[in-house]
Structure 1
Amino acid sequence: MEKHVVVIFPHPDDESFGAAGTIAKFREEGVRVTYLCGTLGEMGRNMGNPIIANRESVPEIRKKELINACKVLDIELKLLGYRDKMLEFEDRKEVASHLKEELEQLHPTLVITHYPGYAVHPDHNALGAATIEAVGMMEEQVRPEVWAQAISDNSFAMLGEPQIKVDIANYFDKKMAAILAHETQAKGILGNFKEHSTIAKDLSEAAQERLGKEEFYVWDF
């Protein structure tokens, strides 16, 4: 059984859309979970539907949404302070050193992050790569396992079957509650899922179709 899981993603809502079911399962088992969130997602295009934010107010609103989502999931939160859409331009070794310091303080047994090169968004790929570099820099005897989440369309063809498949059926309602805590993002993203679905009748079905399973690759160091 894991003792402490640290989730490292770049944006508010990445934890909810990507791994909330897995997080909820760990919390039900009594496992401590900490989210290291890279940015405030301040350059995101979604401002709510109806609109509740503007370019000036969105950072603080997304921060509050993130705090609310973490309360829903009952997890600890630490903001890393990077700038949205700029992570790919940060010095990777500096980011990795920063993350290594954080991880050495938290002593995780498992780290969850994005699979670099297969995570669609440049911030996802950059922070995923820095996270894996950070864990690789740790002493082997204290090095946590890494689960990397690949979300690009070609990930299965290129990487094969994920080793970790988490059944989140019992936690899907919790996942949806966490997603909906991100008010500026939820309806726009869920609506996009429905728009591109040929079978979903409503947002709930579209969410279930796209988000009803969580799978991870175990990183081989």
Structure 2
Amino acid sequence: MDIAIQKAGFIYAHPDDETFLSACLIRQLADQGEAPVLLLATKGDAGKKNGDVSHLTNEQLAAVRVKEMEQAAAILGLAAVEHLGYPDGKLQEVEPVGFVDAIIEFINKHQLEAIFTFPEDGGNFHPDHIAISRMATAAVLSGKCPTVRKLYYFMTAALLNEGQQPSFILDTEPQWAMKAAALRAHQSQILAIHRYFGDLVVFPEDRRYESFVLAHEWDQEQAAYKCFIKM
């Protein structure tokens, strides 16, 4: 499947969000010769309940998760990974102007045309997911990212219930070995990964698809973004 997306950027809250939600999309873009990039708002320094890492300080866990992210990035084919380093679990407390400006800087640095992030409810109502969705959307709609043409949200049951339909869907089964390897790279979070995907040996049929919905698209005639999401 050839995906007609160029210069794609993925903007998420924590290391492993990219693999949970969009591993196959990232890998397919890389295989097509694109150079997908990732911006993470935190280093995941508070994720101590999902593996054998409860003894680590937040600073130590952040260092571990950055290394894990490097391993996952190599598997996924990410051309670059950047971390804003905001406190994990506290994104809603970050001063918003500087937060949005940092995202704008990342988008403009890489001259991105398509952005992928969480929907408004974060997918699971996680405060950090909600915050990064809000900040990424604000950056795109700020008028300061002239290269961006499309903003996509990860598709969720809530969006489906609101009558939204996916803009495109990827079947992960052909690439499951790759996605499972990227998930294993995030070893400090393996308990959460197993809860969501199972043992990573048996293909998780209930997690088969990666789906995305177009939220905003640049309208050249109107010189403004057209909104497709009504929640």
- Which residue number corresponds to residue 146 of structure 1? 151
Matched, 1:191 2:187: no
Q: RCO (CA 8 Å, sep 6+): is it higher in 1 or 2? A: 1
Q: What is the rounded CA distance, in whole Å, between the counterparts of 1:47 and 1:118 in structure 2? A: 19
Deviation at residue 215 of structure 1 after TM alignment: 0.6
Question: Are 2:103 and 1:99 equivalent residues in the alignment?
Answer: yes
- 1:211 — aligned with what? 207
1:99-178 pair list within 5 angstroms: 99-120=103-124, 121-138=126-143, 142-151=147-156, 153-178=157-182
**2:78 paired with 1:81:** no
Deviations 1:39-93 (A, max 9, x none): 1111113352xx2552313221111111111111121111112110111112333
RMSD, matched Cα = 2.1
Task: Pick closer, same or farther for the CA change 1:140–1:159 going to 2, 3 Å.
Answer: farther
TM-score, normalised on structure 2? 0.82
Matched to 2:19, the amino acid is: S
Deviation at 1:13, TM superposition (A): 0.4
Segments ≥4 residues shifted beyond 4 Å: none
Letter in 1 for 2:127: P
Contact 2:104 2:144 in 1 (8 A): no
Say whether the 8 Å CA contact 1:22–1:168 is kept in structure 2: no
Q: Which structure: greater strand fraction?
A: 2
Question: What residue in structure 2 maps to residue 61 of structure 1?
Answer: 64
Structure (1 or 2) with the greater helix fraction: 1
- Conserved 8 A contact 1:147-1:219: yes
Aligned length: 210
1:132-160 Cα distance to aligned partner (Å, 9 max, x none): 11011135852231111144x43321252
Amino acid in the other structure paired with 1:32 = A
Following the alignment from structure 2 to structure 1, what is the Cα–Cα distance between the partners of residues 114 and 184? 26
1:29 paired residue among 32, 36, 42: 32
- Structure 1 residue aligned with 2:45: 42
Identify if the C-alpha distance between structure 1 residues 139 and 29 changes in structure 2 by more than 3 Å, giving closer, same or farther: same
The one-letter code of the counterpart of 1:189 is A
* Structure 1 contact 111–146 (Cα < 8 Å) conserved: yes
Q: Deviations over 1:1-30 (max 9, x none)?
A: 433111100101001111001111111111
Distance 2:160 2:201 in 1: 25
- Percent of residue pairs bearing the same amino acid type: 22
Is the contact between residue 115 and residue 148 of structure 2 (CA under 8 Å) also seen in structure 1?
no
Superposition TM-score, scaled by structure 1 size: 0.86
Q: Any conservation in 2 of the 1:193–1:210 contact (CA below 8 Å)? A: no
Find the aligned partners of 2:99 and 2:146 in 1 and give their Cα distance. Answer: 22
Unaligned runs of at least 5 residues, structure 2: 217-224, 226-231
Tell me how far apart the structure 2 counterparts of residues 141 and 86 of structure 1 sit (CA, whole Å).
30
1:25/1:168 contact within 8 Å kept: no
**SS of residue matched to 1:19:** helix
